[in-house]
Amino acid sequence: QVHLQQWGAGLLKPSETLSLTCAVSGGTISGHYWNWIRQSPDKGLEWIGEIDRSGSTQYNPSLQSRVTMSVDTSKTQFSLKMVSMTAADTAVYYCARGRVFGAVLPRTWFDPWGQGALVTVSS
């Protein structure tokens, strides 16, 4: 059974960079797309982007200019960096497994999810 464990800094100052990592255990990282999703009271659940085993990415256009995702297949980990953080980026950030590698885009649902990481941006 696949399990996702995530970690990263939880308190940032405005303009700093968010860095989160998600480790995949119980399965291979090569067989799926891997996603980041965030949740805040104001915006609800917001998909940030996905990455595949080769490092090919797709980002939410609303965040694309600030987001970079990467994957380390040897460590079965993938990561999120988001620059120029502001208070509006305060949220719980989740990693999640998405569609099977090679599957068409609409066959995308998220399961399982990581435990979530509260990221607060405050001066």
Partner 1 sequence: DIQLTQSPPSLPTFLGDTVTITCRASQSINTYLNWYQQKPGEAPKLLIYLTSNMQSGVPSRFSGSGSGTEFTLTIRGLQPEDFATYFCQQSYSSPYTFGQGTSLEIK
Applying CB under 8 A, which residues contact partner 1? 44-47, 58, 60-62, 94, 96, 105-116
In the complex with partner 1, the residue whose CB is nearer, 14 or 26, is 26
Helix (H, G, I), strand (E, B) or coil at 70: strand
In the complex with partner 1, the residue whose CB is nearer, 90 or 97, is 97
**Closest separation between CB of residue 123 and partner 1, Å?**
27
d(CA 119, CA 112): 20
d(CA 17, CA 67): 10
d(CA 118, CA 115): 10
In the complex with partner 1, the residue whose CB is nearer, 85 or 96, is 96
